[in-house]
Amino acid sequence: MERAKIRLFVEQPLGQGNSVPMTQPQANYLFNVMRLGVGDVVALFNGQDGEWTARVVDAAKRRGMVVCEQQTLPLQTPPDLWLLFAPIKKARTDFIVEKAAEMGAAKVFPVQTDYTNSDRIRQDKLQAHAIEAAEQCGGTYVPEVANIKKLSAMLDAWPEDRHLLFCDESMVGEPSRLQDLPQGPWAIVIGPEGGFSDRERDALRSHPNSHPISLGPRILRADTAAVAALALWQSALGDWA
Ligand code: SAH
């Protein structure tokens, strides 16, 4: 079977013979922009059923239908890693969510901290960024982007078994030791451009699940820090290991 060049995220269940209607923007993209027509194939994933090759059976300007023919990839779930980050400027926040999806975070939590640059996020837009990132990086899983919550509230109700990788800028210059960290569910915590307040640092350091780490000899911007921490964790404990 020919290999599809275009990958699309859909909401519908995928399986042999399943018909999947295209949304108006998907139909526009496939049939107007990319000039696909009846008989062509696309790759579909929905975050649950792996990747499927589907054939176009109806191609109109504003609608279309494809039918699943063959599974090309099983569902590949990332390790149980959350990313908690404080939203910064819009383009950099978008970047963090995109990179979290590419780097294999299971769930993304925007959190409000004492020095958070922005308290509002468009959860739907951020979720769309995660979907786009999965479409382009060949992923079959899309991390859920949660609505913004207070960091303090999350720490108060923290799951007992989940370790916290606290990226603490006050440890700049210390070695970033990840060799001896335990296996299990984890969460990376990245602060905003203004860093963490003393109060937050105390709460994060004294939390029973916390493992404070340094990200090297330079202070990184929050978006760089998120990618660096994800890479370190994935290579020490995750699916790069
Ligand atoms: N304005 C702060 C820096 C904030 S950097 C200051 O000058 O101290 C944004 C976030 O990235 C930090 O809260 C931290 O979570 C992470 N970060 C950046 N560089 C780091 C480093 N060298 N070690 C650990 N965490 C770092």
Q: Are residues 60 and 124 in the same domain?
A: no
Q: What is the rounded average pLDDT for all residues in the chain?
A: 96
> Residue 179 — pLDDT band, cuts 50, 70, 90?
confident
CA angle 163/164/168 to nearest 5° reads: 155
Residue 120 clears pLDDT 90, i.e. is over it: no
45: in domain:
yes
Task: Report the CATH number that the domain containing residue 25 is assigned in CATH.
Answer: 2.40.240.20
Q: How far is CA 187 from CA 65, 66, 68, 77, 161, in A?
A: 40, 38, 36, 16, 11
67: in domain:
yes
Q: Are residues 90 and 13 in the same domain?
A: no
State how many domains the chain has.
Answer: 2
Q: Are residues 126 and 210 in the same domain?
A: yes
Q: Are residues 213 and 151 in the same domain?
A: yes
Q: How far is CA 65 from CA 15, 34, 55, in A?
A: 15, 16, 8
Residue 99 clears pLDDT 90, i.e. is over it: yes
Tell me what pLDDT residue 140 has: 97
Q: Are residues 101 and 33 in the same domain?
A: no
Give the mutation target among 111, 176, 213, 219 for probing the ligand 1 site: most ligand atoms within 8 A of CB.
219
Tell me what pLDDT residue 1 has: 67
Q: Name which of 116-120, 161-165, 216-220 the model is least confident about.
A: 116-120
Compute, in angstroms, the gap from residue 147 CA to the centroid of ligand 1. 23
Residue 226 clears pLDDT 80, i.e. is over it: yes
- Domain housing 65: 7-73
pTM of the predicted protein model: 0.95
Predicted confidence (pLDDT) per residue in 70-83, tens digit: 999 999 999 999 99
Compute, in angstroms, the gap from residue 105 CA to the centroid of ligand 1. 20
Tell me what pLDDT residue 212 has: 96
Q: Are residues 68 and 86 in the same domain?
A: no
Give the mutation target among 213, 220, 227, 230 for probing the ligand 1 site: most ligand atoms within 8 A of CB.
220
